[in-house]
Structure 1
Amino acid sequence: MITRRATLAGAAALPAAVSFGARAADTPGVTATEIKIGNTMPYSGPASSYSSVGKADAAFFQWLNEQGGVAGRKINFISLDDGYSPPRTVEQTRRLVEQDQVAFVFDALGTPTNSAVQRYLNQRRVPQLFVNTGADKWADPEHFPWTIGFLPSYRTEAQIYAKHMLRENPNARLAVLYQNDDFGKDYPAGVRDVLGRDWDKRVVRAITYEVTDPTIDSQVADLHASGADTLLVAAVPKFAAQAIRKVHDLGWKPLFFMTNVSISVGSVLRPAGPENAVGMISGQFCKDAADPAWDDDAGMRQFKAFMAKYLSSADITDGLYVWGYAVSYLLWKVLERCNGGFSRENVMRQATNLKNLELPVLLPGVTVNTSPTDYHTIRAMQLARWDGRSWVRFGEVIEGVAT
Structure 2
Amino acid sequence: MRTPATTTRRAAALAAALALGLTGCTAEEEGPAPTPGVTADTVTIGTHQPLTGPAAAGYSAVSAATSAYFAYVNDNGGVHGRSIEYLVKDDAYQPQQTNEVVTELVEDEEVLAVVNGLGTPTHSVVLDYLAQEGVPDLFIASGSRVWNQPSLYPNAFGYNAEYTTEGAALAQYASEQEPGAKVCVLGQADDYGEGILEGVEAVMGGNEITEIQTYTTSMTDISVQIGALKAAGCEVNILGTINGFTALAVATAAQLDWFPQWYVSSSGADYPTLVGHLGEEAAAQLLEGMVCVNYLPYGPDNEWTALFRQINDEYNGGAPFTANTVLGMSVGYLFAEALAAAGEEPTRESLIAAVESGTLRGNGIVPLSFSETNHGGYSTVGIMTVEDGVQDYNGTTYEVEVGQVSEVEADPVPLLNGGIPAG
Q: Under TM normalisation by the shorter chain, which class is it? A: 0.7 to 0.9
TM-score, normalised by the number of residues in structure 1: 0.86
Tell whether 2:334 aligns with 1:330.
Answer: yes
Residue 368 (structure 2) aligns with: 368
Q: How many residues align?
A: 368
Structure 1 residue 148: Cα displacement:
0.6
Tell whether 2:196 aligns with 1:207.
Answer: no
Cα contact 1:256–1:280 (8 A) shared by 2: yes
Cα contact 1:24–1:343 (8 A) shared by 2: no
2:139 is matched by which residue type in structure 1?
Answer: F
Equivalent positions of 1:218-257 (< 5 A) are 218-257=224-263
Structure 1 residue 249: Cα displacement:
2.8
Identify the match of residue 148 of structure 1 among 138, 150, 157.
Answer: 157
Equivalent positions of 1:58-77 (< 5 A) are 58-77=67-86
Residue 136 (structure 1) aligns with: 145
Cα contact 2:338–2:360 (8 A) shared by 1: no
Cα contact 1:139–1:376 (8 A) shared by 2: yes
Query: 1:327-367 CA deviation, whole Å, 9 max, x = no partner?
Result: 101111111111213211111111122347252xx33xx22
Cα contact 1:24–1:342 (8 A) shared by 2: no
Sort the Cα spacing of 1:223 and 1:379 in 2 relative to 1 into closer, same or farther, 3 A. Answer: same
2:297 is matched by which residue type in structure 1?
Answer: K
Cα contact 2:52–2:90 (8 A) shared by 1: yes
Q: Decide which structure has the larger Cα Rg and report it.
A: 2
Tell whether 2:294 aligns with 1:284.
Answer: yes
Question: Which whole-Å CA distance do the structure 2 matches of 1:24 and 1:263 have between them?
Answer: 48
2:316 is matched by which residue type in structure 1?
Answer: L
Residue 303 (structure 1) aligns with: 308
Sort the Cα spacing of 1:319 and 1:94 in 2 relative to 1 into closer, same or farther, 3 A. Answer: same
2:254 is matched by which residue type in structure 1?
Answer: H
Query: 1:201-226 CA deviation, whole Å, 9 max, x = no partner?
Result: x1122121111111323211221112
Identify the range of structure 1 (119-128 vs 187-196) with the bigger mean alpha-carbon deviation.
Answer: 187-196
Cα contact 2:182–2:209 (8 A) shared by 1: yes
Query: 1:120-157 CA deviation, whole Å, 9 max, x = no partner?
Result: 11111111100111112221112211111111111011
Tell whether 2:347 aligns with 1:339.
Answer: no
Residue 109 (structure 2) aligns with: 100
Cα contact 1:277–1:388 (8 A) shared by 2: no
Question: Which whole-Å CA distance do the structure 2 matches of 1:87 and 1:255 have between them?
Answer: 37
Sort the Cα spacing of 1:80 and 1:24 in 2 relative to 1 into closer, same or farther, 3 A. Answer: farther
Equivalent positions of 1:168-187 (< 5 A) are 168-187=177-196
Query: 1:266-304 CA deviation, whole Å, 9 max, x = no partner?
Result: 21244232321112111122233xx43x1xx43222112
Equivalent positions of 1:158-173 (< 5 A) are 158-173=167-182
Question: Which whole-Å CA distance do the structure 1 matches of 2:246 and 2:135 have between them?
Answer: 33
Cα contact 2:196–2:240 (8 A) shared by 1: yes
Structure 1 residue 24: Cα displacement:
8.7
Cα contact 1:25–1:31 (8 A) shared by 2: no
Cα contact 2:330–2:362 (8 A) shared by 1: no
Equivalent positions of 1:37-52 (< 5 A) are 37-49=45-57, 50-52=59-61
- SS of structure 1 residue aligned to 2:48: strand
Residue 4 (structure 1) aligns with: none
- SS of structure 1 residue aligned to 2:396: coil
Tell whether 2:90 aligns with 1:81.
Answer: yes
2:326 is matched by which residue type in structure 1?
Answer: V
Residue 285 (structure 2) aligns with: 275
Residue 125 (structure 1) aligns with: 134
Structure 1 residue 243: Cα displacement:
1.1
Residue 266 (structure 2) aligns with: 260
1:248 is matched by which residue type in structure 2?
Answer: A
Q: Which runs of 5+ in 2 are unaligned?
A: 1-30, 404-423
Residue 318 (structure 2) aligns with: 313
Residue 352 (structure 1) aligns with: 356
Cα contact 2:49–2:60 (8 A) shared by 1: yes
Structure 1 residue 395: Cα displacement:
3.8
Question: Which whole-Å CA distance do the structure 2 matches of 1:274 and 1:401 have between them?
Answer: 35
Question: Which whole-Å CA distance do the structure 2 matches of 1:242 and 1:32 have between them?
Answer: 49
- SS of structure 2 residue aligned to 1:283: strand
Question: Which whole-Å CA distance do the structure 1 matches of 2:341 and 2:88 have between them?
Answer: 24
Residue 26 (structure 1) aligns with: 34
Question: Which whole-Å CA distance do the structure 2 matches of 1:265 and 1:25 have between them?
Answer: 48
- State the identity as a percent: 28
Identify the range of structure 1 (115-124 vs 265-274) with the bigger mean alpha-carbon deviation.
Answer: 265-274
Question: Which whole-Å CA distance do the structure 1 matches of 2:362 and 2:107 have between them?
Answer: 35
Tell whether 2:40 aligns with 1:35.
Answer: no
Structure 1 residue 42: Cα displacement:
0.4
Cα contact 2:333–2:362 (8 A) shared by 1: no
CA RMSD in angstroms, aligned pairs only: 1.9
